[in-house]
Structure 1
Amino acid sequence: MSLRQIIYTSQASEQFNKRSLLDLLHTSRGYNTIDNISGVLMHRDGYFLQIIEGEQDVIEDLFQRLNNDTRHKNIKMILDRSVESRLFSNWAMGCADFDEPELSMLPGIRTDLSNPEVIEDLIIHLPEIADFLLDKLD
């Protein structure tokens, strides 16, 4: 089975507090479990970076829905590729808040999720970041 992995960034349309982030995660996890989608949502200062993985057509449909979601704007596709295996196979939707000091010390993790250089560095170190997140947040 060919899997698709996409990484995108976006900006919250309005301020996301802890409650609204938890509501978003709860809803996303329900849909993602049904559709066999895995991934992680990273949040920092009103910006999101999300990695989602799943079957080609399912990810295509999800990304179309995400583009129409008014809770965020300025959606930018960072990476779109076929992969042999998932990085986050056990997560319907993990969540990382970059305010945690441990996360900020990881290679590729810096505060500005809107900066292309930060995103490029994050992609380079994606396997290390995935391992850390799986150990820390699972």
Structure 2
Amino acid sequence: MSLYRIIYSSRPFGYDSSMLNGILMQARRANARDDITGALICREDVFLQLLEGPEDKVKQTVERIKRDDRHIEVRMHVEKEVPERMFGEWAMLHDPAVSWIWTQAEIDDDAVERAPAAEVEGFFIRLRDQADAPDAV
């Protein structure tokens, strides 16, 4: 079975800690069921999520996210088959206080729209390299 990776961004609608906790709880449960792993980088101005697993399940998950009114302006950055998982230990790794991705000013200046796939994937490579164990969530 081939592995498929999608990285998308969206703007959160109605962002607060209870909304984020709801998203994480739902994602971890559904991802464990569907053999999907990944990571979520989030702030009040941007969600950046990597999902990986069976292609059909990953694509179904993204379609569900596109229908979720907590996500607006869903934009695909990476869609490809991959030889191995980047976040194989995590149903959904959550990075709550990312200060090393785009600034608010850069987001306001359309950095998300202009970002090349390699830059977006690079954020997750850095996150993976910083997370030393599944307990780091």
For the superposition of Structure 1 and Structure 2, which TM-score range results when normalised by the shorter chain?
A: 0.7 to 0.9
Length-normalised TM-score, structure 2: 0.82
Report SS of the residue matched to 1:65: helix
Report SS of the residue matched to 1:95: strand
Contact 1:6 1:77 in 2 (8 A): yes
Correspondence for 1:53: 52
In the alignment, the residues of structure 2 paired with residue 86 and residue 72 of structure 1 have an alpha-carbon distance, to the nearest angstrom, of 25
Question: CA distance change for structure 1 residues 28 and 126 in 2, over 3 Å: closer, same or farther?
Answer: closer
**What is the identity percentage for the equivalent residue pairs of Structure 1 and Structure 2?**
28
Flag as ranges the 4+ runs of structure 1 deviating above 2 A: 109-114, 116-129, 133-138
Correspondence for 1:78: 77
In the alignment, the residues of structure 1 paired with residue 122 and residue 16 of structure 2 have an alpha-carbon distance, to the nearest angstrom, of 30
Question: 69-78 or 41-50, which moves further after superposition?
Answer: 41-50
Matches within 5 A, 1:4-23: 4-14=4-14, 16-23=15-22
Length-normalised TM-score, structure 1: 0.81
Correspondence for 1:31: 30
Structure 1 alignment gaps of length 5 or more: none
Structure 2 alignment gaps of length 5 or more: none
Report SS of the residue matched to 2:131: helix
In the alignment, the residues of structure 2 paired with residue 45 and residue 2 of structure 1 have an alpha-carbon distance, to the nearest angstrom, of 34
Aligned length: 130
Correspondence for 1:40: 39
Question: CA distance change for structure 1 residues 118 and 60 in 2, over 3 Å: closer, same or farther?
Answer: closer
Question: 120-129 or 73-82, which moves further after superposition?
Answer: 120-129
Amino acid at match of 2:6: I
CA RMSD of aligned residues (A): 2.3
